[in-house]
Structure 1
């Protein structure tokens, strides 16, 4: 007679049943199997992987030993892309700052800093499987000289690396390079030059492992620096006072130092250097848009999303300012129309959700704004048909003067 794993549990003592249920119901079964395989040899010792102090893996339910972790990386082509790659890597906490500085050399003269943290205090600990999880806020700095960003961020690096409620990164979208170290203590890198990143990882001793397990494959807790006794903190942090160790305070200080601003988390995308170069060439061919050719096209997509967010909340500007927002969408559409298929589909996918949100707040869509550019043959400029529902006093005043409500 044969039994399933589930039926066998009922023949076990109650305490052992609960431990087995925990293993079988684990969200990452592949990781659980790898762990069991690792534990088969009682003589085999776990490696000495160095976790940040703010990330505490759970002990194995059967052995009481910490789950295994090793350094390494994986990489894959990005979805809907032929030349952009996503890397995921795991690195000892003491080596993250070195990676950060080495990666900065790939970014040219300028870059922007990325910071993710919980603006409201969420406590000193949080289990990874907690169902009541607040959402962090993502902040971007403006583009700044790379040397200036590094100089300003370096004093914060030990806290950024070790606190369990903080993620941070560095990017230059125009160069198609981004590195981010998440609160889950996993490194994510987006690049259009995967060989360059592989060479960097190789110089740091990281090996490619398609079967690599990540800290998120095991149960764990997130801890703030304030949770630890002072003597258990890394040396650079032991002399700091409580306020300096509180992630809410030091992250706010950093956002002020770098003049950072929050970004909408729902708008997430990556444009490779090849994408940016193609878009630059397209904009250079247009007399009015050529002055924007060398800018990061991603910023234009963010500007369109910000305009839609403002309209959803109630547009407070006048008609001229409203039309400036619509002209952002004109420029995006020009790039879409002139782009090769790969880039065209990528941009449409990026702005699709933003466009749909804007359509939902338009009223009187049978009307078309005066002074709108002529319709193209390939599409209908829906953003000129109708007006936003939450028009403020100045916009309504200008619409009355232009005869919008009399037609």
Structure 2
């Protein structure tokens, strides 16, 4: 695993923005929380290439992961045509280069960042296609998608167990070095389910609900990975429910325990949701983490917070509204939709990095706000 020219350019862009933010401050938006979110979503639309970018700041490119997290909300907000155009653009670029990668740069070249395979990228791409429900688009790229499904199995899955192999894969928490993480195994489940839903080849015959519960559930919550000293993390305890790994009423029973543990552990303090309770000195991280002042340890990530709120709203709507209002106060205080916050609730920054303020994730907050609080 290394970093090439394309990664250097992306890194320099992020560093250059950090310098500009230090002198001019980050981009802000006028209005109340909903107005801010609508403005942010519009800023994330690339009108030249006709696709959604992950942000207008640090990440003015397409990321399959981030788009897939937002696709249901974008559709709920009436953006069907833009969703389809984005997926058409992405699939065209991937197929032209003969391989799926997590992101596509401003020149239309796919890349992974860091330069390691991301199992969740394919999972969220298939989820986006399933959410859109455009059979013609799936049919057009079926051969390519089937190729990538076979490649996923070859690269990611241990054929003796059906679990994700040990070793470093990129993920939502892309700088964390984990061994067969709970998050990545949920992605195997998601790929299995979405492949069947889309009428594609399904190379994954394993019972993932059983495997995930057997290997990661400790009786009260899910643990991060298969390491002997694995701890509780935010992503490991949200993503199984977001992707509906377990049927009801089992899911409700498991979530009740997880919700209690997340709140007791302070994962939702000061805002939903933190990856970990504190900075674990034993946690292995990719070396770039030092340049961001450990942005993926005890920090608050808004995209994970959104997924948490979407799950919570199924089981405790009143509490979901409470946290939604806390996010609303944050958005209106900062006049933006932030990427990552410190454990005290300030915009996270380091010498080389400054939190984005224009994340496409704003669509998730906006759609949930409308769903729970009305127009």
TM-score normalised by L of structure 1: 0.23
Higher helix share: 2
TM-score normalised by L of structure 2: 0.25
Higher strand share: 1
